[in-house]
Amino acid sequence: MHASRLQSLINKLSHDDPAERRAAAEALSDGDERAVYPLIKALKDENLGVQDAAMQSLMGMRGESTAYMILPLLREDAFLRNTAMLILREIGRQAVPLFRGLLKDTDGDVRKFALDLIHDIGWCDYADNLIVLLESDRNPNVRAAAARTLGMLQYKKAVPQLIQALNDEEWVAFSVIEALSLLHDESSVDAVAELLRSPAESIRFAAIEALGQIGSPKAGVSLIHHFEISEGLEKEATVISLVQVGSVPSLPGISDSLLNMLMDGEWDEKMIAIKGLFAIRDNTALRHIIDTAGSLDFSEPEQEQRLIVVREIISQFGCVDELFDILNDNSMKYRGKVLAIEVMGDLRCSDAVPALITLLNSNFRDVRRSSMESLGKLESKEAAGCFIEAIGDHDSHVRKTAVSALGKIGDSTSFESLVNMLKQEEYTDIIDEFVKALITIDATLFLSRINEFNSTVHEITARYISDLNLELPC
């Protein structure tokens, strides 16, 4: 920016009109370090729009020189201090070298602010200095901030000092436990597990959660022991951590705790419960798992992702009797039943064919559709008669699925029925399925009768036979 333009904008920061001051502050984002101090002064402007424009411009300017001039604001009132921290976070790594000196500041708040900034920026090349603060700073808030930051930085050299700091006052210990849970270092398990004996319930809960996040088999042993002696919410928290560790024992009470979590917990807890119930292979819980999954709103992306995970877990149970029971359970909500039907089709559970055939007469459209699809995947000739009947169903999705299934099993007895229904079909995507099925069953016979059909059938047929090196008769 030209010097005269820069000076003109700086002068406008003192204009009587706040709109002029704001416009000048915005334009100075293209300036150099000469604009930094005037913009800092503009942070104290009586107009909020000017203040915001100055802050945004300082964020955009970045650079170590900008950060250096912002640092004194950390000693100002709450508004300016918070504004300074926002700007310094945005400047990022370039500002971190300047925080080293702040770690020795006589003001404990300033030392903590520096640690918080390092934590939020997520980078530091002098982490050993943070260990010194953890061990010896007289301010517990600073020690706690040092612990949290060391954990976030994944600085494993600090594990011994963090373990020692577990003996600090409760507020600091919380942050130390959080740091150790982030570091996932098995050498800290014994020290964290010792806190399960703490008289402070809050410390015990923090230790339980940390052991789950550390995730080692050694942590699982401590958690199993604690499950046997804990009660209520503490027992439930222990179960959650055991699932996270992947070490869920078939102990009395485990299944009940998981079922309670499944029925009454938030969705994150429900997902943990489902994983835990599979881990102990509690087949009796399948009904509850499927019923819970059936309550999901598939139109929401987050819910859809959960369904994918739950469905995969249900599939891992295999073709167990409890899954078959759901098909015959009239009290099961239809969404849950649809999920069970789809899983049985994916697993190719051949023993489910009779029940699936019965469900083709369900009053629920989605149940009929999914039953038809699963029977198609099973390629059951036993269901051929049902498929033939279903190609005349009033529901287009059911018709399409039935036609596809007949094509997959290659049932020659269905040929005439398919021909007759093809002549009546109006939807192009279903006509497509009819053509594929008829070509699969008997391409020569179908092509010899091609003149019985309309132009849409001709066009679709031509597309498929070109791939098969066949020719339409003249």
Measured CA distances, 410 to 213, 351, 380, 407, 432 (Å): 53, 21, 10, 5, 16
Rounded CA separation 262/273 (Å): 5
The pLDDT of residue 112:
97
Rounded CA separation 423/418 (Å): 9
For the ranges 30-34, 67-71, 157-161, 452-456, the lowest mean pLDDT is seen at 30-34
Q: What is the pLDDT of residues 284-306, one digit of tens each?
A: 999 999 999 888 876 777 788 88
- Contact partners, residue 113, CB within 8 Å, separation at least 6: 74, 81, 85, 102
Which among 253, 259, 374, 247 is positioned nearest to 315, based on CA atoms? 374
The pLDDT of residue 392:
87
- For the cut 80, the answer to whether the pLDDT of residue 97 exceeds it is yes
Q: What is the pTM of this model?
A: 0.75
Half-sphere exposure of 381 (CA within 13 A, CB side): 4
Token digits of residue 34: 């000469």
Rounded CA separation 238/233 (Å): 9
Rounded CA separation 335/76 (Å): 59
Measured CA distances, 241 to 163, 199, 401 (Å): 20, 20, 44
Report the interhelical angle of 428-448 vs 455-467 (nearest 10°): 70
Rounded to an integer, the average pLDDT of 222-227 is 93
The pLDDT of residue 234:
93
The pLDDT of residue 473:
60
For the ranges 108-117, 158-167, 351-360, the lowest mean pLDDT is seen at 351-360
Rounded to an integer, the average pLDDT of 113-128 is 97
The pLDDT of residue 405:
86
Rounded to an integer, the average pLDDT of 63-88 is 95
Which among 176, 182, 177 is positioned nearest to 145, based on CA atoms? 176
- For the cut 70, the answer to whether the pLDDT of residue 73 exceeds it is yes
Rounded CA separation 68/65 (Å): 5
Token digits of residue 318: 């295999």
Token digits of residue 69: 């001039």
Q: Which class for 82: exposed (0-12), middle (13-18), buried (19 or more C-beta within 10 A)?
A: middle
- For the cut 60, the answer to whether the pLDDT of residue 74 exceeds it is yes
Q: What is the pLDDT of residues 99-112, one digit of tens each?
A: 999 999 999 999 99
The pLDDT of residue 468:
59
Q: Which domains does the chain have, with CATH numbers?
A: 185-247 (1.25.10.10), 248-378 (1.25.10), 385-474 (1.25.10.10)
Rg of the chain on CA atoms, in Å: 34
Rounded CA separation 100/103 (Å): 5
Rounded CA separation 230/236 (Å): 9
- For the cut 70, the answer to whether the pLDDT of residue 470 exceeds it is no
Phi/psi at 100 (nearest 5 deg)? -55, -45
- For the cut 70, the answer to whether the pLDDT of residue 471 exceeds it is no
At 389, the pLDDT band (50, 70, 90 cuts) reads: confident
At 331, the pLDDT band (50, 70, 90 cuts) reads: confident
Q: Which class for 361: exposed (0-12), middle (13-18), buried (19 or more C-beta within 10 A)?
A: exposed
List alpha helices for 62-200, DSSP H. Answer: 64-70, 78-91, 96-102, 108-121, 127-136, 140-152, 159-165, 170-183, 189-194
